[in-house]
Amino acid sequence: MASNHTPDTTNSGNSSSGNVVQSDAAISTSRRRKYVSTACQSCRKAKIKCDGANPCQRCIHRAVECIRDELKDGRRVRKRDFEELHARANALDTLVESIQSSDDESIRELVRLIRGEGSIKDITQHARGILTRNKEIRSRSHPRIRHSVLSIASLIDEPPFQVPAQPWTNVTTDDNAVSHLISAYFTWQYHQYPSVVPDILVREMNAQDTSSQLCSSLLVNTILFNACMYTDHVCAFANPGDPSTRGLHYLEEATRLWNLEEGSVSLTTHQALPSMMAGLVVIARDRAGLLYTGRLSALTTELIMKVKASKRQGKTEFTSDDFQRSYRSSIWASYNIRMELALAYRRSSELQKPQVKRPFVDNELQYQTVWRPYPDLGPEAPLCQFMINDARFDLSEITAELVPLSLSGDPQDSPLPGHIILDKVEKQVRLGEVEARLLTWQRSLPPGTRIEDALGAFATSPLVDLHLAYYSRYINIQSILLHDTDIHDAKKPGVEEKLIQSCKTVADLCMTCFAPVHVQTAALAAYSLMDLLTRAEVRDSFHVMIVALSGSSRRWPLVRGILKVLWHTLQERKLDAYLAEATVTLLKLSAVDNWGLQDHRLFEGSAYPNISVANEKGLEFAEMSDLLNQYSLLNTDDDTKVPIK
């Protein structure tokens, strides 16, 4: 008969299972106060309270593996979520701080990383790197480049020309940096000396064929050096944030490659020189840039002879359409820069126009693209690029007539050897003939490239620069007529009026669309107006020139020197008293406040002339390096000497 009594298993020494239950109960009781969110699999299966340790005491006692599913641990999940949210909050704080303290280009780098689906960790590390770099830059004692905090354009813009860094340059492997610089070059500088054809160069760079006739490392590095003058991207500086190192890393590489290719005659070597020369002028090493002028003239002759000889021999290596377009563009671009430098520096040059066809003719001139002020978002405007290039070639042909007149003189003036001898009356007549050609050129410009277009709502930098180039020739003529000919007293007011009106139009153009590439005409106008500052109607135009030049002086060393020379010339002639307070403040900011005691040494390689002094005393007394050295010896920067009216 079965007993209704349930055995007291707690006192049974023969029941091993009872011992386990007793032990489990004891363990459970001893750990009762501890809340365990997730039991191990063994305890959960036995429906026994787990102590939460890893391994737990029950599993240790039973000598079994303690397996716990931590994904079901609510507290751990919440803790993990909290830590992740905290990390994301810190990442967001770092990101915002880096954006607030960074230039647009650093912001673009962040945006590219985000768009590329970089991890939070990678993005945060990159942002912290930017912050560290910015702190280092701020700790430097030299002048810093000021950047806007943030712009919509910096977040959504991408370089319009996408090209690889390799195998073209050893300076960087960053494709985005090289694409940025190439795009800046085609936006701001290309139109002056169009030695390449944009679509051909971009295609050849992307092909990455180092044996190409149409692209080379020398050509690319000279363009990158030149492009650094038109952007504040971190890649534009050999030492990030140090303005004095702008473009020097690419210049060093280009110089190394030039030395390797010296003596060779190739299209890409010829294409590279205009960019090299233009960049050297901007960084106030224009003496070195001018030395390349003779080499460029010789290389032009050699290249033309080489191409013609190949054609006579029935070879086809130089006959492709792409080669011919690039070849003709380079020949005419070299003519442009030689004429530009000859006029600006009043130096003799090979004046004969190229004996090759223009790069674009007939219907090709009607090709229209769009322009915008990259890297800013800016508005897009229609651009007849090839038509502007062709008009500039015409202007260079007229310049070839003006250059010898600017260098000429009668026997009493003792003109330099090789310069033509003209009496002042004949010089006046011939200058009038060149002026008439200029006026005809301006009136003959096709629709879309006229002065009203350059002053209109859809003005572009290449078009504005075309008209500024015209006015630089026109102002040169009026300045020479005023200072270097026996102009009749009755005619002098008319010449002065032409000069004033021309400079006023230059001021209007500068206010429409000014860029550093336009500084030559702005500087020429400022020098030419100095002696007319006693007239009230001149001062507004002069102020616009100073505003334009001051804006460019932060980026271009040459412009700092120009402003310094302008300031001292004004003081010497006691003309600073006629300036508005705002004009004086701008001039002093560059010429006095931000000018170090040894800064004149930065311009020892510059021969840029003070045209006002050149007209009065002669070119030999007007070179920038000599003038700045004199000023440093005199130490004339005394604020108490500056009357303001």
Q: What is the pLDDT of residues 162-202, one digit of tens each?
A: 999 999 999 999 999 999 999 999 999 999 999 999 999 99
Lowest mean pLDDT among 126-135, 273-282, 426-435, 469-478: 126-135
Per residue in 243-282, pLDDT tens? 889 999 999 999 999 999 877 899 999 999 999 999 999 9
Q: Is the pLDDT of residue 636 over 60?
A: no
Looking at residue 145, what is its pLDDT? 39
> When comparing pLDDT for 4 and 231, which is higher?
231
Give the torsion through C-alpha atoms of 75, 81, 82, 85, to 10 deg.
Answer: 180
CB atoms < 10 A from the CB of 34, how many? 11
User: Which of the 8 DSSP states describes residue 166?
Assistant: T
Over the range 254-270, which residues count as b (16 or more CB within 10 Å of their CB) and which as e?
bbebbeebeeebbbbbb
Per residue in 362-405, pLDDT tens? 777 888 889 999 988 778 899 999 999 999 999 999 999 999 98
Residue carrying structure tokens 């500056």 = 642
Looking at residue 115, what is its pLDDT? 67
Residues 133, 144: Cα–Cα separation, whole Å: 13
Lowest mean pLDDT among 562-566, 574-578, 614-618: 614-618
Give the chain's mean pLDDT: 82
Per residue in 321-373, pLDDT tens? 999 999 999 999 999 999 999 999 988 877 788 989 999 877 778 888 899 99
Mean pLDDT of 404-418: 70
Residues 46, 623: Cα–Cα separation, whole Å: 98
Cα separation values, 392 from 40, 190, 193, 226, 339, Å: 84, 12, 9, 20, 11
Q: Is the pLDDT of residue 485 over 80?
A: no
CB 62, CB 24: distance < 8 Å: no
Looking at residue 271, what is its pLDDT? 97
User: Which of the 8 DSSP states describes residue 272?
Assistant: H
Q: Is the pLDDT of residue 644 over 80?
A: no
For residue 114, give both structure tokens: 């985000």
Is it true that domain 20-72 has CATH number 3.30.1360.40?
A: no
Q: Is the pLDDT of residue 156 over 90?
A: no
Query: If pLDDT is split at 50, 70 and 90, which confidence band does 412 have?
Result: low
**Cα-to-chain-centroid distance, residue 57:** 70
Looking at residue 631, what is its pLDDT? 87
Reduce the secondary structure of 195-222 to three states and give it as a string.
Answer: CCCHHHHHHHHHHCCCCCCCCCHHHHHH
Q: Is the pLDDT of residue 2 over 80?
A: no
CA nearest to 147, candidates 107, 111, 181, 182: 107
CA nearest to 520, candidates 444, 469, 561, 475: 469
Looking at residue 228, what is its pLDDT? 95
DSSP three-state, residue 489: coil
Helices (H), ranges, 189-285: 198-207, 217-227, 248-261, 267-282
Lowest mean pLDDT among 231-240, 406-415, 431-440: 406-415
Per residue in 29-87, pLDDT tens? 444 444 455 788 888 888 788 887 878 888 888 888 888 766 555 555 566 666 677 66
DSSP three-state, residue 103: coil
CB neighbour list of residue 155: distance below 8 Å, 6 or more residues apart: 107, 108, 111
